[in-house]
Amino acid sequence: MTHFLILSHGFNMDGRASSQTITDKVPFLRAKGFDLTVLSAVTGLRDADIDHLQLLPWGPSGLRFDLRHLLRLRIGQGALYRALMLVTSLLLLPAIVLERLILGLQSQWSWALPAFVRGYFFLRRHPECIVYSTGGAYSAHLAASWLKRRLGVRWIAEIHDPMVRPGEVPRTRDERFQARLESTICTQADHVWWFTNGALASAQHRNPQLASRGFVVLPGANPPVVQAQYVRGDQMVFAHFGSLSDTRTLAPFFEGLNTFLALNPSFRSTIRVEVYGASLDRESSQVLERTGLKPLVSCMGRLEACAETGLSGRERVVKRMHEVDCLLLMHGMIAECPEYIPSKLYEYFWSRRPVLALTWRNEQLDALVREHGGVVASTDDHEAVVSAIVSVYADWQAGSLDAKSQLAQPLGVGQAVDKILRECV
């Protein structure tokens, strides 16, 4: 029976895309008869159904990062949490400064140290085990590369995000380190997969030694455990779920909405925008202030677990996805966009609600959205954004939003697991 040693820094963290990508695969792997041992950080909940070891990083910045999450899980974010984190930060500050001066790597790098040590002794007892590194944080791949070099075990790697910014020469120490690590992965790993065609093509261009050992997997998402019935109301509700930043902003959508309402002022009272999972980014806030759209927008924040309903934060998010009229997907407009598909898209598909996606130079993403009845506009094309809003609003008025969102079957996690096993086992 095949045994996987899974290295994942952010395993079983509620609502985190880097966690869901691997955590959702676990039931499928177990159902197919695979034994699983997971080494993860302490930032998520321990999975009692599998052999799951949680490890603290050995570096000071990583220790502070992981302790922050651990304390939030254990004691919440009240006064005691703030006091403990203040003391911890002060005690670790000199070591953190020294670590950054000497190494200059991202804080989670040092989790690779305990992961390597625990993995080494585990693999000495189970040499037939396949190492499966996934991330997210590159510390899992770093530990796996050390295990491969030391023990010669089979190693498969799942790369979530581009490790090298497309078209750019790595400048910082951390960027150069990630570029070297990507080369190591493409050289040493037995099989490697990315989540987009663009990411695989770029990695193969930088690392021709990868050859046919690289492939693409669409990660998909699990069918929602919690569902809700969509009911058309008096207002059309657009909703965005997930993080926002200066590089992934709602500003282009708000600019388009402002133009749409300037042309159709009577529609203003029929539109509402809900934002979940993050506060508004700076540019979005400025656009709302300038255009006067602020009264139309409700910032709902991050949904946490609810004691009354028993729903987790993720389940509450999924429930709301089923209830709104149209889901917004902001792709951004940065160098990584041609190599990146937001994982939230696969959850959107399961809601069976139409998606309005503002994308940039990613034909694979555009095709996926259209196949599932959504509407696509380029982030930098204001007229196209306005036209997309006109299209989905007209469908809402006509009551035909549901018909378009049923065009294709959602992508489940099972198809991703099947492809990985076909390629690797």
DSSP letter string over 282-346? HHHHHHHHHHT-GGGEEEEE-----TTT---HHHHHHHHHHHSSEEEEE--SSTTGGG---THHH
d(CA 195, CA 416): 10
- DSSP code of 203? H
Question: Per the omega criterion (within 30 degrees of 0), is the bond before 136 cis?
Answer: yes
- Looking at the DSSP bridge assignments, the partners of residue 154 are 130
What's the sign of the alpha-carbon dihedral 404, 407, 412, 417? negative
Residue 226 lies in a domain: no
Q: Specify the amino acid at residue 111.
A: W
Q: Name the domain count of the chain.
A: 2
Q: For position 396, what pLDDT does the model report?
A: 96
Please give the pLDDT value at position 278: 84
Tell me the three state secondary structure of residue 407.
coil
Round the CA-based radius of gyration of the chain to a whole number and report it.
22
Q: Same structural domain for residues 56 and 177? A: yes
Q: Does one domain contain both 252 and 369? A: yes
What CATH number does residue 240 fall under? 3.40.50.2000
pLDDT at residue 424, as a whole number: 96
Burial of 421 (0-12, 13-18, 19+ CB in 10 A): middle
40 and 126 part of one domain? yes
Residues 190 and 110 in one domain: yes
Q: Are residue 298 and residue 188 in the same domain, yes or no?
A: no
**Mean pLDDT, each 10-residue run in order, the chain (425 residues):** 93 81 96 97 93 97 91 87 92 94 94 98 97 95 99 98 88 96 98 98 97 97 87 96 92 99 98 94 97 97 82 85 96 93 93 96 97 96 98 94 78 97 95
Query: Does residue 231 sit within a domain?
Result: no
Residue-number span of the structural domain to which 247 is assigned = 236-405
Task: Identify whether 410 is part of a domain.
Answer: no
Q: What is the pTM of this model?
A: 0.90
Residues 175 and 75 grouped into a single domain: yes
Strands in 191-194's sheet, in edge-to-edge order, are 51-54, 35-40, 3-8, 130-135, 154-159, 191-194, 214-216
Q: What is the C-alpha separation between 118 and 410, in angstroms, rounded?
A: 38
Instruction: Look at residue 70 and tell me if it is in a domain.
Output: yes
Do 213 and 240 lie in a common domain?
Answer: no
Q: What is the pLDDT of residue 404?
A: 67
CB 68 within 8 A of CB 42: no
Answer whether residue 241 is part of any domain.
yes
Instruction: Looking at the structure, tell me whether residues 118 and 255 fall in a common domain.
Output: no
Residue 207 lies in a domain: yes
Query: Which amino acid makes up residue 270?
Result: T
Q: Identify whether residues 198 and 243 lie together within a single domain.
A: no
> For position 312, what pLDDT does the model report?
80
Are 8 and 91 contained in the same domain? yes
Q: What is the pLDDT of residue 15?
A: 63
Do 151 and 210 reside in the same domain of the chain? yes
* 327 within some domain: yes
H or E stretch covering 179: helix 173-188
Q: Does residue 392 belong to any structural domain of this protein?
A: yes
In a shared domain, residues 134 and 25:
yes
